[in-house]
Amino acid sequence: MVNDTKRAGFLDRFLNTIEVVGNRLPDPAVLFLVLMASVWVLSWPLSNVDFGAQHPATGEAIHVLNQFSLPGLANLLSTMVNTFVTFPPLGVVLVALLGIGVAEHTGFIGALIKTVLRFTPQRFLTPVLILVGVASHYAVDAGYVLVIPLGGVIFYAAGRHPLAGIAAAFAGVSGGFSANFLIPSGLDPLLQGFTLSAAQLLDPEAQVSIVNNNVFTAASTVLITIIGWFITDKIIEPRVSGHTIDGDPEQMPKMEEVTAAEQRGMVAGIVTALFGAVALILWAVPTDSALRFEEQITSFQAPLMQSIVPLIFLFFLLPGVVHGYVSGSVTSHRDIVKGMSKSMETMGYYLVLAFFCSLFIWMFGQSNIGILLAVKGADALREFALPGPVTIVGIVLLVGFVNLLVGSASAKWGLIAPVVVPMLMQLGISPDLTQAAYRVGDSSTNIITPLMPYFPLVVVFCQRYVKNTGIGTLVSLMLPYSIALLLVWSVLLVVFWVSGIPLGSQSSYVYP
């Protein structure tokens, strides 16, 4: 009892520290603005210093270029609009979400999720719930508002503790945030855009594929499901069995039935998606297909590889539209446009974030401070002479720690990528491998940081069943998942690397 009290006291102090420090940080958008201004001002005194560094590609001396001048300010203002609109993550994310927004608005995604969970045998309830949580990333934030509360509902209906269901669903949705099946989700082009921008600080000709991690993320989906299954059934559920369910029955969420109309629409939507997949395969198979480049289908120059984002758009748009008309949730084309508009409404903050992030990365590159930090950081790592796997695991742990203070995935990678991607390229570690390490660190600690935007919402879901649930309760439930993911997922990444298993299409482990 004394040990439990000490652990609870330490956990509360740790959480309070994280909350206080995190809340003192400015909003990520303002943080990018502050960093950009800092680089702008610092470029003036640093431009007079000889750092004795050489550009690895050209062999030329690296000098910081003064941007804190009237010509520098004129250059910033004259290129500002183009810098923003050509920011790699911007267009690809918006286009993908247009189609995803329709599938979500018409009810196609919701019907799929509820149908899968309702007809899952009880002995496979935990792994299927976690797997559905991972798959929910294709619908952006649907997992947080749909799958997590459903986790509590279906566990409670099955005679199991609802907090265990919520924990399992949270582990899939947020702990497995960076995992997905072979088909890319909306997160893939977002991360790829930041990685590409960072890599081109060192090598303007660098290329990064949108599906550069899809094999690793598919294997990660299986791993996360197995880890979550074991921890939920063997650790979490026995632990929460002592929590009395004292919530108001009238306030507890109920599992909504999938109507006959929704079932018809869902089947029609699935058939549409399958028909589209078959048509795409038949189009791509011939060696003279227009989707290939010099008979290669996975080349960076292949139209198929350059069409990944439009394909995501179509593979959500068309089934969503068909589902909407068949189920009756859509009555005219205006409802389709409304679905697209609704998804864009949720991207307002992302647009603000992308604006300041694009300017920060641009200033980082123009001043040469970014490449200077990368070269000097690489030199320092060389002196330590750490084995490659140790360096990569170090990046995983760094990202996991930063994640406790900065909840936004795009903000974190926007901050970290411009330094670590070119720095590790200097050590012969490819941007593809660095991005995979980021995925592991980001997802593993998502579920234990109170600063993650949806964390308070998950606490509310728990309080519907156990009234005295607090932030500390939820973190203590999710901590076993987080520790296991950090350890085992990092091992999986190292195994991929050592075994030479491709991380994804057009990916590599070494640079160049």
Tokens of 502: 């491709």
Residue type, 45: P
CB 209 within 8 A of CB 305: yes
pLDDT digits (tens, 9 = 90+) for 160-214: 899 999 999 999 998 888 888 867 777 788 888 889 988 998 898 898 988 899 9
Find tokens 């005295």 and name the residue: 468
User: Residue 487: pLDDT above 90?
Assistant: yes
Distances (CA, A) of 458 to 225, 232, 343: 20, 17, 22
Mean pLDDT value across residues 13-17: 59
The string of pLDDT tens digits covering residues 436-472 is 999 999 999 989 887 676 787 788 888 888 888 877 7
pLDDT above 90 for 94: no
pLDDT at 59 over 60: yes
Q: Where are the alpha helices (DSSP H) in 47-161?
A: 70-85, 88-105, 108-118, 125-135, 142, 148-157
Closest to 403 measured CA to CA, from 28, 10, 7, 11: 28
Q: What is the pLDDT of residues 106-151, one digit of tens each?
A: 989 888 878 888 788 888 999 999 998 898 876 656 677 778 888 8
pLDDT band of 29, cuts 50, 70, 90: confident
Query: Got the DSSP string for 257-285?
Result: PPPHHHHHHHHHHHHHHHHHHHHHHHHHS
Nearest to 148 by CA among 124, 129, 175: 129
What token pair was written down for 274?
């399958």
Is 508 contained in some domain? no
* Domain presence at residue 104: yes
Question: Side chain identity at 382, as an amino acid letter?
Answer: R
Question: What's the whole-number average pLDDT of the chain?
Answer: 85
Q: What is the pLDDT of residue 249?
A: 61
Q: Is the pLDDT of residue 260 over 60?
A: yes
1-5, 145-149, 244-248: least confident range:
1-5
Task: Tell me if 289 sits within 8 A of 72, measured CB to CB.
Answer: no
With a cut of 90, say whether residue 318 has pLDDT above it: yes
Give how many domains the chain has, as a whole number: 1
170 close to 132: Cβ distance less than 8 angstroms:
no
- Please report the pLDDT score of residue 107 as a whole number: 87
Say yes or no to pLDDT of 248 above 60.
Answer: yes
Range of the domain at 330: 2-499
Q: Is residue 429 over pLDDT 80?
A: yes
- Residue 95 inside a domain? The answer is yes
Query: Shortest CA distance to 99 belongs to which of 189, 215, 194?
Result: 189
CA distance 256 to 23: 37
Q: In the beta sheet, which residues pair with residue 54? A: 61
Provide the terminal-to-terminal Cα distance of the chain, rounded to the nearest Å. Answer: 56
Is 507 within the bounds of a domain? no
pLDDT for position 13: 65
Contacts with 447 (C-beta within 8 Å, 6 or more apart), sequence order: 170, 171, 174, 175, 478, 481, 482
- Give ∠ CA 201-207-211 in degrees, rounded to 5: 125
Residue 2 confidence class, pLDDT cut points 50, 70, 90? very low
- pTM of full prediction above 0.85: no
CA distance 458 to 146: 11
The CB-side HSE value for 48 (13 A sphere, CA atoms) comes to 4
pLDDT value at 347 more than 50: yes
pLDDT-based confidence at residue 222 (cuts at 50, 70, 90): very high
Q: What number is the average pLDDT over the span 249-274?
A: 83
Mean pLDDT computed over 30-41? 88
Residue 461 CB neighbour total at 10 angstroms: 26
- Locus of tokens 């901590």: 479
Judge whether 495 lies within some domain. yes
pLDDT band at 342 (very low <50, low <70, confident <90, very high): confident
H helix and E strand count, the chain: 24, 0
Task: Please list the helix, strand and coil fractions of the chain in percent, rounded to the nearest 5, in that order.
Answer: 70, 0, 30
Q: Which two tokens stand for residue 364?
A: 């980082």
Residue-level pLDDT at 190: 81
- From residue 454, alpha-carbon distances to 24, 165, 457, 460 in Å are 19, 17, 5, 10
pLDDT at residue 156 greater than cutoff 60: yes
308 pLDDT higher than 70: yes
pLDDT greater than 60 at residue 19: no
Q: Does residue 157 carry a pLDDT above 60?
A: yes
CA atoms within 13 A on the CB side of 122: 6
